[in-house]
Amino acid sequence: MNSALGELERLFPPGRFLVKPGQLAPYESDALTAFRARPLAVVLPETHEEVVQVVRWSARHQVPFVARGSGTSLSGGSLPIDGGVVIGLNRMNKLLRLDVLERIAVVQPGFINLQVSSIAAPYGLYYAPDPSSQPVSTIGGNLAFNSGGAHCLKYGMTSNHVLAARVVLPSGEVVELGSQSLENTGPDWLGLFVGSEGLMGIATEVTLRLLPRPEIYHTVLAAYDSLAKAGDAVAAVVASGLLPGAMEIMDSLAIEAAEAAVRAGYPLEARALLIVELEGEVPQVEAEARHLEAVIRASGAYEVRVAQNSDERMRIWKGRKAAFSAVGRLSPDYLVQDGVVPRSQLGRALSEIEQLSTRYGLRVANVFHAGDGNLHPLILYNGRVEGELPRAEELAGEILKLCVGLGGSITGEHGVGMEKKAYMTEMFSETDLATMQRLRLALDPLELSNRGKMFPGGQAPARVHQGAHPREKGGVISRE
Interhelix angle 346-360/388-405, rounded to 10 degrees, is 160
Mean local confidence (pLDDT), 389-393: 92
Interhelix angle 227-239/346-360, rounded to 10 degrees, is 160
Q: Does the N-terminal peptide bond of residue 456 adopt cis geometry, omega within 30 degrees of 0?
A: no
Provide the pLDDT for residue 462: 37
Q: What is the DSSP string of 389-423?
A: HHHHHHHHHHHHHHHHHTT-BS-SSS--TTTSGGG
Q: DSSP label at 160?
A: G
Which residue in 141, 150, 147, 175 sits closest to 161, CA to CA? 147
Q: Is 122 exposed, middle or buried (0-12, 13-18, 19+ CB in 10 A)?
A: exposed
Q: DSSP label at 105?
A: E
Q: What is the DSSP string of 119-133?
A: HHGGGTEE---B-TT
Provide the pLDDT for residue 459: 46
* pLDDT above 90 as % of the chain: 73
Identity of residue 58: S
Provide the pLDDT for residue 431: 96
Provide the pLDDT for residue 465: 37
Does the pLDDT at position 460 exceed 50?
no
Identity of residue 189: W
Mean local confidence (pLDDT), 206-227: 96
Using DSSP's 3-state secondary structure scheme, residue 29 falls into coil
Mean local confidence (pLDDT), 242-251: 93
Confidence of residue 464 (pLDDT cuts 50, 70, 90): very low
Q: What is the pairing mode between strands 85-88 and 41-43?
A: parallel
Q: In what order do the strands lie in the sheet with 303-306?
A: 303-306, 216-224, 272-280, 246-251, 364-369, 377-381, 333-336
Does the pLDDT at position 463 exceed 70?
no
User: Looking at the chain, how many residues does it have?
Assistant: 480
Confidence of residue 458 (pLDDT cuts 50, 70, 90): low
Mean local confidence (pLDDT), 424-428: 94
Provide the pLDDT for residue 336: 85
Provide the pLDDT for residue 249: 93
Confidence of residue 466 (pLDDT cuts 50, 70, 90): very low
Provide the pLDDT for residue 340: 94
Provide the pLDDT for residue 1: 67
CA dist 351 → 227, 362, 402 (Å) = 7, 15, 11
Confidence of residue 22 (pLDDT cuts 50, 70, 90): very high
In angstroms, how far is CA 114 from the centroid of its own chain? 14
| pLDDT tens per residue across span 185-194 | 788 999 999 9
CA dist 381 → 280, 351, 394, 418, 470 (Å) = 42, 20, 12, 20, 11
Confidence of residue 383 (pLDDT cuts 50, 70, 90): confident
Confidence of residue 473 (pLDDT cuts 50, 70, 90): very low
| Distance, CA of 149 to CA of 161 (rounded, Å) | 13
| pLDDT tens per residue across span 47-72 | 999 999 999 999 999 999 999 999 99
Backbone angles phi, psi at 69, to 5 degrees: -105, -110
Q: Is 60 exposed, middle or buried (0-12, 13-18, 19+ CB in 10 A)?
A: exposed
Confidence of residue 471 (pLDDT cuts 50, 70, 90): very low
Q: What angle do CA 133, 404, 379 make, to 5 degrees?
A: 50
| Distance, CA of 25 to CA of 38 (rounded, Å) | 7
More confident residue, 412 or 52: 52
| pLDDT tens per residue across span 434-455 | 999 999 999 999 999 999 999 9
| Distance, CA of 223 to CA of 322 (rounded, Å) | 18
Provide the pLDDT for residue 348: 87
Mean local confidence (pLDDT), 242-258: 92
Does the pLDDT at position 470 exceed 50?
no
With beta carbons less than 8 A apart as the criterion, state whether 204 and 159 touch: no
Query: What rounded mean pLDDT belongs to the chain?
Result: 90
More confident residue, 353 or 347: 353
| Distance, CA of 49 to CA of 444 (rounded, Å) | 20
Mean local confidence (pLDDT), 152-177: 95
| Distance, CA of 421 to CA of 150 (rounded, Å) | 25
| Distance, CA of 60 to CA of 38 (rounded, Å) | 22
| Distance, CA of 330 to CA of 478 (rounded, Å) | 14
With beta carbons less than 8 A apart as the criterion, state whether 43 and 88 touch: yes
Which pTM value belongs to this model? Answer: 0.89
| pLDDT tens per residue across span 113-149 | 999 999 999 999 999 999 888 999 999 999 999 998 8
| Distance, CA of 72 to CA of 142 (rounded, Å) | 10
> On the CB side of 390, how many CA atoms lie within 13 Å of its CA?
2
Confidence of residue 324 (pLDDT cuts 50, 70, 90): confident
Four-CA torsion 300, 305, 306, 308, nearest 10 degrees: 170
CB neighbours (10 Å) of residue 270? Answer: 23
Which residue in 267, 74, 123, 106 sits closest to 178, CA to CA? 106
Instruction: Report all structural domains of the chain as residue ranges with CATH numbers, in order of start.
Output: 2-90 (3.30.43.10), 95-212 (3.30.465.10), 216-328 (3.30.70.2190), 331-442 (3.30.70.2740)
Which residue in 163, 176, 182, 245 sits closest to 204, CA to CA? 176
| pLDDT tens per residue across span 277-311 | 999 999 999 999 999 999 999 999 999 999 999 99
Provide the pLDDT for residue 120: 98
